[in-house]
């Protein structure tokens, strides 16, 4: 008998729609290899939900367009209860703060949670703790590997080391694929900062408003997630952020003003590039120092021969320093952005929970 897993997918943008495609392509493989049947009885966008008793098929987009209806979280919970669906996983592929507020009611009504959305792990510590109290009380899992490094095994590695009693002393690295791309090219090519920034925007590597990337807030959120993962009690305002924006070119400008004024960035970054030591490159990093109890997001000059100095393209690279490994960090490197790798990371989290459900069901049958 196969183990049926019912996935309610919130968000059918780039990551959500890619996840559906990946799952449908590999559905038979999961069934044959692991005896796990993954299905989507419900998929939603921000306002509409499509309810499908038999699970979403290849024509899901047409069905969604024809049959999706307005919904509330209460409607989702009522539907799965009326249909007597079990082995429930809610997948958050949105950037919605409102949906995060529904995590606890979902957990209380039988759902595990998988999130690409970072918000739940960066809200005030009271919510963070309350969420975990409910997970423990209702014996549910909350996985979010893609919160840092997309498909890279960053969170799992750090949480496993911490759970095993390893003394992690420092975590530092390049956490932004878009800023990795910009500074990697800026260090190698004789182009202005604004020219590379505009190319990154055209390639879809930045947020629609690239000030989101340049502000440092996204890197700071990822750093906060990792800090909390190792038990460091911190809030977002505790992070010292050195923005890449300028006093006269920042979030206060209109989009139109920002769009025509990016050349203002060229002079300060050219000076920073020219005044650093030879064989050094600029890198925008996040750093958690557990000895000093500091969290910092900043621009640094890094020797070319180091791991951070050698990264290419839009790669992320995270260094994990521990007592056991001494001065030689664990290094995790690879693509840190993109809908395909992020969706695959979400799918890995789904499968991890599914395997756990399968084990629990097997134990229950033996008893």
Please give the positions annotated as active site.
Answer: 222
Total Cβ atoms within 10 A of residue 1: 7
Q: What six digits make up the tokens of 324?
A: 């056991």
* Maximum separation of any 2 CA atoms in the chain, in Å: 71
Provide the 8-state DSSP code for 277.
P
Phi, psi for residue 200 in degrees, rounded to 5? -65, -40
**Residue indicated by tokens 């069901």:** 361
Are residues 169 and 291 in contact, defined by beta-carbon separation less than 8 angstroms?
Answer: yes
DSSP 152-188: SSHHHHHHHHHHTT--EEEEEEE--HHHHHHHHHHHH
Cα 182 to the center of its chain, rounded Å:
20
- Measured CA to CA, the distance from residue 177 to residue 117 in angstroms comes to 17
**And the tokens for 24?**
């449908």
Q: In angstroms, rounded to a whole number, what is the distance separating the alpha carbons of residues 171 and 335?
A: 18
- SS3 assignment, position 320: strand
């Amino acid at each position: 008998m196969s183990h049926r897993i019912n996935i309610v997918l919130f968000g059918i943008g780039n990551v959500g729609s890619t996840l559906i495609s990946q799952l449908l392509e590999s559905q038979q493989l999961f069934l044959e290899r692991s005896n796990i049947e993954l299905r989507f009885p419900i998929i939603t966008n921000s306002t509409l939900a499509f309810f499908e008793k038999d699970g979403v098929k290849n024509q899901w987009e047409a069905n969604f367009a024809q049959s999706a209806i307005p919904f509330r979280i209460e409607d989702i919970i009522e539907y799965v209860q009326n249909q007597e669906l079990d082995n429930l996983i809610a997948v958050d592929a949105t950037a919605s703060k409102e949906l995060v507020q529904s995590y606890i009611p979902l957990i209380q009504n039988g759902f595990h949670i998988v999130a690409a959305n970072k918000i739940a792990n960066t809200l005030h510590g009271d919510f963070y703790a309350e969420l975990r109290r409910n997970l423990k009380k209702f014996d549910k899992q909350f996985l979010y590997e893609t919160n840092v490094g997309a498909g890279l095994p960053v969170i799992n590695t750090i949480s496993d080391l911490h759970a095993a009693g390893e003394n992690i002393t420092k975590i530092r690295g390049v956490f932004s694929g878009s800023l990795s791309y910009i500074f990697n090219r800026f260090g190698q090519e004789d182009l202005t900062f604004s020219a590379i920034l505009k190319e990154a925007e055209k390639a879809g590597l930045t947020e629609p408003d690239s000030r989101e990337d340049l502000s440092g807030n996204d890197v700071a959120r990822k750093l906060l997630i990792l800090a909390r993962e190792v038990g460091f009690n911190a809030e977002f305002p505790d992070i010292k952020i050195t923005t890449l924006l300028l006093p006269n070119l920042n979030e206060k400008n209109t989009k139109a003003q920002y769009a025509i004024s990016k050349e203002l960035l060229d002079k300060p970054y050219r000076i920073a590039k020219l005044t650093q030591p030879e064989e050094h490159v600029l890198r925008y990093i996040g750093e958690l120092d557990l000895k000093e109890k500091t969290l910092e997001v900043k621009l640094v000059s890094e020797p070319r021969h180091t791991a951070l100095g050698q990264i290419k393209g839009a790669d992320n690279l995270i260094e994990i320093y521990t007592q056991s490994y001494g001065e030689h960090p664990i290094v995790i490197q690879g693509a840190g952005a993109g809908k395909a790798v992020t969706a695959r990371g979400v799918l890995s989290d789904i499968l991890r929970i599914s395997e756990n459900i399968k084990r629990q069901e097997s134990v229950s049958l033996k008893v």
